[in-house]
Amino acid sequence: MKQFTLEFWKDEDWFVGRLLEVPGIFSQGETIEELKKNIQDAYQMVMGSEDVSFIPPTATRIPLELTN
């Protein structure tokens, strides 16, 4: 399980939010609980659609800090 930051705000009658750590993951809901569920659905759709089968399991991962 991964932990993310949900940033949200009220837009008229809707709660709108995004995942700070994953650009492009936005959703909305009539309640915060519905927003959380919809954000999870959006995350799963985006991450499930990325084909990473070509990356070998032995690939190296290192932290990388980028500037704006």
Largest CA distance in the chain: 48
Confidence (pTM)? 0.71
Model pLDDT for residues 27-51, shown as the tens digit of each residue: 999 999 999 999 999 998 888 876 7
In angstroms, the CA 29 to CA 21 distance is 20
Map out the domains of the chain as residue ranges. Answer: 6-48
Question: Residues 8, 17: contact at Cβ < 8 Å?
Answer: yes
With 90 as the cut, is the pLDDT of residue 67 above it?
A: no
